[in-house]
A and B are shown apart, each in its own frame.
Chain A
Amino acid sequence: MIEVINVSKRYSSDEMVVKGVSFDVKPGTIYGLLGPNGAGKTTLMLMMATLLKPTEGQIRICGNDISVDTLEIHKKIGFLTTEVKLDPLSTPDKLYDFFASLYDLPKDGLEERKINAFNRFGITPFMNKRIVDLSTGMKQKISICISLIHDPPVIIFDEPTNGLDILTSKQVTDYLKDLAKEGRTIILSTHIFSLAESLCDEIGVLVDGNIVASGSVKDLCSLTGKDSFEDAFFDLYTKNHKEG
């Protein structure tokens, strides 16, 4: 479903942020990218979302090359990152309608879908308030709603539970599990072990722009010979991280 083939990224004249990363994600699975800050998770996801162009390598989503069929890709992915925000002066209601017209969604039943989506996350009471007046958690939930407005088969979420309280966090993770059960492919990045452990079918550990190991939690533990996933990660990190 998602094939990342030897992808590298270099920001103008600076050092490589992502260095020759390759992995595959099968349909209906949740793939987690785990790594410390600055490991290149966001950059990798932005490339998958076509917002950045890979310096080298190829990314294919549903068989389409991201740099060729960009608009086709946009229809197939739902993308969320904390770096991309919602227009603070707009309201959830207006934003939903706006993006619905940008995705050219059918007008019949739009209102119903909107209410359903808003109800799931408890946004409905706030749907006519300005985004700027809402809490971080609410903003994140609205972002998720809007990212999935077109019901995409591939979901790319960068740190989806960032800044959320435990309850909301649970809501989101449950929703993601449901989506995966429905046969959607999900990639998410995180640095929260519990989330990675409970949610992901497969985990890629990203250190300094390289995927140093990948597999299920069990695989990673047995690979490093540690009992807990946390220890396995730190083992991988200290082995692969070079200072400065």
Chain B
Amino acid sequence: MRAFLAIAKKAFRASGSGGAKASRYAFYAMALSGLVVFSLIAAVWVSFVRNLFAVPEGRKKVVVVNATDSFREFADGKDDPFIDYRFVEHPYVYDVSTFSDLMKETGSHLTIVFDQNGDILTFYPVSDLDYTEERDVFKLTVLEKYADFVKEKEGIPVFSEYAVEDFTEGLEDPVEGASNDPFLEIVSFSLIPLLYFIAALYAAMIKGTNVIAGAKEQNTFAKILMTPVPRRTIILGNVMGVWLSAMIPALVITVPLILVPGYRAGLISVFLIVAILSVFIAAIVILISVMSSNVITAQTAFLPVFFIFVFLCISCMHNPDEYSGVYEYMPLYGQYLGIGMALTGQVNILALLCSSAITLLLAAVCVLVSVKLLGSERFTVSVMSSTDKELIRAKKQAKADARKKVFLKAKTSVFGYKPKSSLNDLSFSLTQLFRPLVLLSVFQLIAMIPPLLMTNGEYLTNVIASLKAVKNVPDVISSGSNIIGVLMSTPAFLLSMALGYILIDAYYCLRVRFIERTPLSSGLGLPKDHIGRRYLTGMGSGLIMMACVFGILVACGQIKVTGFGIAAGNLPLFFSFVVMWIFQGACEEIMFRGYMMPRIAARYGLIPAIAVSSILFCLFHGMNPGFTALALINLILVSVLFALIAYFTDNIWIVCAAHTMWNFTQGNVFGLEVSGNSGNVSLIHTELTGGAKALMTGGTFGPEGGLAVTIVTLAAICLVLIIFRKKIRRKRD
């Protein structure tokens, strides 16, 4: 007990600045500016809330002209706390301007006029059509009740389904509730609990991070650990000290509240609630402190906790009504709402007990975990001597250097690339894998936004409709393809896709050039010479290959040509496709062949590089509709073909062009599906013949899912191996 008190006292007295004394003037300046900012915020906030309450003064006002006796009786009998009837006599039934003045004068939005026959006419301010609804509700509820009232008087039984409350919805019942001032009520559910939370959090953070983590930082903690004081006493003593310091600001906030008459009754409960909250906060801070080795780490680790608490407060502040009921029984929410409820005199004892019990339980868990952690060497104290630390650091450095030496020697050099990354294998693989994934998903999603916005929400409606139609897994794919189909027919989408690809290309170029500090020729396979010749070669080979595929399909009677040419209206779309394909092809080649291949080859060799980049390339197309096993094989073959070309020619200009041309001719020249995505404009119009087999044509995935492409690609791979046979021999030697 003596040790516990001594530790608590020491923790309570611990300096908040961890030994580094700030100048007294700096402290005054901070306190002053804090006060100024706080008063400004409070002033703005108070005036804002006051304004909120200026408008509905608690009762709806209705002007009643020439009221019948029965209506007066109805109104008096109801003794309605919500509706304030103003009875007026007036000779004219349709004197709108007088009624309008009357409404302005009384602040009412509604006038009802009884004519000689006892029929009712209603008027609302003509300038403002918003009040039609109010009038309709009034008719449906109050007048309906009045009708019932009249019927009942004449002995006719009535069953009305409407309630007058609908008309007065949203108005607070002025009789119930202890606080008559809605302003006080709002403040007690928002500003005051928030202040208590932040004060407790801040005070606990400053103290708690200093006591254990601070002691560890200054190497004074071991001295305490060396005493015959059990670990749990150390933890509990520190929690106690931190709790005490967290209670000081709570006290400071509580004292001025005594001046508010409406609050006095609930302040003791509020103080108890804050005390329990502070126990939890203190326990969390001590846990974090035990886990940290210095004050800065501890405070950084506490920041998320701080923000979670503040976020919780703000969500409650924003809409206290929503966070009632079950929330009152939960920890933290219970305390937040409990403070408000105690202040406004509507304490729910059971909820408070429940939330307090859970909170204390959580605090106990924190304490237990802290005690356990304090038993572990890792979290107790870093008393390794500086020489030992130096030795260990030197060993680690030597290990890293050895690793660097291994990784920086290129196993196989593609494009003459010299590796610079000494990441370990796992990080290396993860970055290689996730970089394209992240880039593509981010930029392609962004590309969807402009067309959705530009078409005035028409496509958005379509997209939502097709998403709503999803009922099972196959539907997801078909609705996805519907969306893509819809989007693919808008130039806006294609151009923003192109922009996305340009940005990805730019990212890679800038990364290689300025972060990896490697020339583009070796880093991405984009040498500056012979660009035109190389690009044209690529375009030619892409065109020839696709033409072969088309030729095979036509010769086998799988597809037939139905027409030629593009309608003038579709020209923008056609050219958007051209632009899109140029950058799409370049982008995929840069990602998989230009960037990924030399880096993997340098570390693991050429064959793994080609295999991995091809498999990834193919997986990125695997989400497209109509994907089949044959499509997988074809995509891998195409990818291998491109990889080989890039490797043998030491650049990716050719494959960029070939890729672009392949897709372009496929979709917009021969009118076929490109990797499952249909283009809507093409120079040659084709359709599948009656006898078409999916095995050859690839079905909905397009020819890339069919045998024709397999044949052509295999042939092309053989051709490449033959053309470059000398180079293969040389490279092998």
Contacts and interface: CB of A to CB of B under 8 A. Distances in A.
Contact of B19 (A15, A53, A89, A146): A89
Contacts of B341: none
Given A84-B222, A88-B218, A99 B392 contact: no
Given A51-B383, A89-B19, A103 B225 contact: no
Interface stretch (B1-9, B488-496, B608-616, B701-709): B1-9
B215 interface: yes
B222 A102 contact: no
Given A12-B378, A52-B377, A101-B3, A42 B223 contact: no
Interface stretch (B227-235, B317-325, B409-417, B687-695): B227-235
A86 B226 CA distance: 13
Interface string A42-81: 1100100111110000000000000000011011010101
A165 interface: no
Contacts of B230: 71
Interface in A123-177: 132, 146
A91 to B, nearest CB: 12
B228 A98 contact: no
Contacts of A37: 385, 387
A14 interface: yes
A146 B222 CA distance: 13
A225 interface: no
A103 B227 contact: yes
Contact of A71 (B6, B10, B15, B228): B228
A182 interface: no
A74 B222 CA distance: 12
Contacts of A87: 215, 218, 220
Interface string B4-38: 01110010000100010000000000000000000
Nearest to B7: A102
B367 to A, nearest CB: 19
A23 interface: no
A244 B219 CA distance: 30
Contacts, number: 95
Nearest to B391: A38
B6 A101 contact: yes
B725 interface: no
B2 A85 contact: no
Interface residues of A, number: 37
A15 B493 CA distance: 59
Interface in B174-233: 215, 218-220, 222-230
Contact of B226 (A14, A17, A49, A83): A49
Contacts of B390: 38
Interface string A11-39: 11011010000000000000000000110
A201 B230 CA distance: 35
A104 interface: yes
Most chain A beta-carbon neighbours within 10 Å: one of B223, B225, B227:
B223
B19 A104 contact: no
Interface of B: 2-3, 5-7, 10, 15, 19, 215, 218-220, 222-230, 377-378, 380-381, 383-388, 390-392, 395
Interface of A: 11-12, 14-15, 17, 37-38, 42-43, 46, 49-53, 71-72, 74-75, 77, 79, 81, 83-89, 98-99, 101-104, 132, 146
Counting from the closest, the 5 A-B pairs by CB-CB distance are A101-B6, A102-B227, A74-B228, A37-B387, A84-B222
14 contacts: A17-B388, A42-B388, A51-B222, A81-B383, A83-B222, A84-B220, A84-B222, A84-B223, A85-B218, A85-B220, A98-B6, A103-B227, A103-B228, A132-B19
Given A50-B226, A89-B19, A98-B10, 11 more contacts: A15-B395, A43-B384, A46-B383, A51-B222, A51-B377, A52-B383, A71-B229, A87-B220, A101-B5, A102-B224, A104-B3
